Structures are given as structure tokens and as C-alpha cells.
Structure 1
Amino acid sequence: MVSKYILPPPDTLMYRLILILLLCGFFSFTTRAQYTRNFSVKYFGLTLHPKGDDNAELMPLNPDGKGYFVFNVGGSISYEQFFVQDKFSVKAIQALYADCAMQFAGFTHLGLRATIFQLGPHSLNGGLGPTLVYRRNWSKLDGYNLSTSFFGGNPSDKWQYRMIWYAGEFEYNYRFKDRTDFSVSFVPGYPNIMSLSFGIRYWLKDKE
């Protein structure tokens, strides 16, 4: 059972910013070859806690000792299908990785995307959609502070879960070959889950 759900108020700054940028997709400028579907493989990555983390001592790849920046080891794959050429798409992402405490974790995401701008080899996409985040329960770790946890849940549970009904993502892409982009994704989940990943986005040829 999912322990808690997030349903952020629609007047939050992040929510407004993402909606404004999505609307900007209507005015994006297209100069590149036309493709409608792609898949991505990315390294995940880096997690940011803007206010630090009370459980920082449980994070071995935590160079500042406060949990502001924590390295993760893992990856994600995604598939994206445009339903309006170079404008709007649907994207699915599956990620599996070692979390900040080097325990097994992952997330599953499905959402809508829009092109914010596209100029020459550069483009920026933004989107929203539901995301299920899960990890092995940190309650098994000595010194874990459950009261400040983003996940919550019961200490006896094997897994901790959190459903984010409209998680955001920004993705910058640089086209360096005809069908291949260097891609960087940023999840702006302030103040709990902010993450950075990078890799390759490859465009599939459309059927004749």
C-alpha cells in the first residue's frame, strides 16, 4: 500500500513556472529533421537537497556531509512519442538505482511534455505527470530519522513509497548527430527530490 500521496496546491511557484513554460511550447521554433519518437538511456545521477538532510550521515556518497549534494549510482530508460510534431508528446520513464543510502530504489513515470524552445541543435522540453517513487525501507538503518522523511510509512514495511501526482521534469537536449542528442534531465521537486541525470536520446525512424 502507498503510504502517502502528494497533491501540491496549484498556486505553488514550481507549478506555475512549469505551466508557463509548457505554454511557451506553442511558440517553439523548429529547424531540425522531423522525427516523432525517441528513446533515452541516462545515468542517474545526482540528488540535491536544498535544505540539507537530517539523514545525511546515512549517505556514503555525500561529499559535503550535510546532504546538499549526494551522488547516486544507477540509470533510467525512457520512451517518448510526439502527437503534435515537435510540440507535444507523451513520455514514459523507468529508473532503477542505488539511492542516497546506497539501497535499491527506483521510480516509474508517465507524463505529458511540451517543447519550450527549439533552436538549431538546442532544445528544452518541460512536462508534468504522475510518478511513483519507491525504495527499500530506511528504517532498517541505524540512526534513521523517520519523522522528517519524505516517504514516511511504517518501520516494519519492507518498502517505502510515495506517489507524486504531477511531478515535473525539464530536459535539455543538444543534437550532435542526425538522430542522436546529448540529453540532461532535471527534476525540480523542491525541497525534497531534486535530481540530475544525463545520457543519450536517440530518435527512431518513422515508418514509411
Structure 2
Amino acid sequence: MKDGGRRYHHGDLPAALVAAGLELARSGGGEAIGLREVTRVVGVTPNAAYRHFADRHALVLAVAARAQQELASAMATRMADADSEPDPGLRARRRLRAVGLAYISFAIDEPGWFRLAFFTPDRSTDADGATGHADAPPYRTLLAALDDLVVAGVLPADRRTNAEWACWSAVHGLSELATRGPLQGQPAGVVEQVAEYVVDCAIEGILAERAASDSDGSPDG
């Protein structure tokens, strides 16, 4: 195949372009991804990229989807450590804990990918046609971990609604504090200790019994 007189060969050019974008984003986030930069890394002309991506924004969305997949993979790896637990309730709790800790660790270890995955401007549709972050692999992993708590009998079904937002808010907030806030630059051990505390508090919060005034319908006071 020829493009502008230059011959190139790729088994999967779109995948190669996304992989190049992912490497650029690793150190610079989404801002580092440009069609010219990506095609230069792959060794093709910019015109070749337009055959697969309508514009830079489409390419950034595709790379962001890959970054989310990387996070979901990190979650799955950490969750696997809990699978040897024989007790279903404890196993479900440990798997949810692993999801939260993996999220925070990913933000700290891969800040470029993290920013890209969750701060892509005007992200209305991902590369697979899914809309918004609600269909992102990390979010689906969180939902599955919470559903496992219900199946294991640890989380009452009537407490399941909106539990994902309580968990996500906690870990995302701490991730921001650790990467761009007052925890930035703190020793790794300190941040890890805080991360474990925050994740444990979030889990205990969604599992805690309702106050008597909520459960029996009696008014406050």
C-alpha cells in the first residue's frame, strides 16, 4: 500500500496508532497525543491515520479506551489475589477492596494514562460506541464487585443502589489528592496507608447498618 509515495506495511494500523498514542500519553496525558506525533512514531504519513480516525479527537478517544482497559486489567490482577479466600463474604469484600486500591495505585503509577482515561474533554462516545464513563471497563468491574457482595449476602440488596458512586467518589478523590493535591510527593508508604484507610472506610460505609431512624421510618428527634 502506498501513501504519498511512501510504502508501509502494518498488520493492524489502527491498533499500531493507538499503541503509539498510549505511549505518548504515558508521560504527557491526552495533550501529548497528536496525529503527526503518532504517525511519526508508527512510520506512516498523517493521511494514513485519517483512513481510520476522522480527526485527532477520535484518536484520543480510542487511546483513552485503551487506558481504561489498562486500568481494568490492573484491577483484575489485584482482585485475583483474593480468589483464594474460601469464605464468599470475605472474598467479595477483598475483591472490592482490591478494585479501590488498584484504582488509586494506577493513578499514582500511571498519571498520564489516568488523566487521559477520566479527563478526556467532550468524551461522549468511546471507540466501541459506548457512551460516557458508565460503560468503561473499570466502572463495570466496580459494579460486578458490588454485585458480588449482594450475592454473597454481605451487602443487602436495598443498599446496593448508588453504592458505586460512594466507592468511586472516595477513590477518585484520593487519587486527585495523591497526584495533584497535598498528598503529592509524600512517601509511598504514607500514601499507601492513607489509601487503605480511605478504601476501608468506603467499604464499611456502604455495608454499615442504617440508623434506626432510617430503618424504622421514625422521624429524627
TM-score, normalised with respect to structure 2: 0.23
TM-score, normalised with respect to structure 1: 0.24
Q: Which has the higher strand share?
A: 1
Greater RCO structure (CA 8 Å; 6+ sep): 1
Q: Which structure has the greater CA radius of gyration?
A: 2
Q: Which has the higher helix share?
A: 2
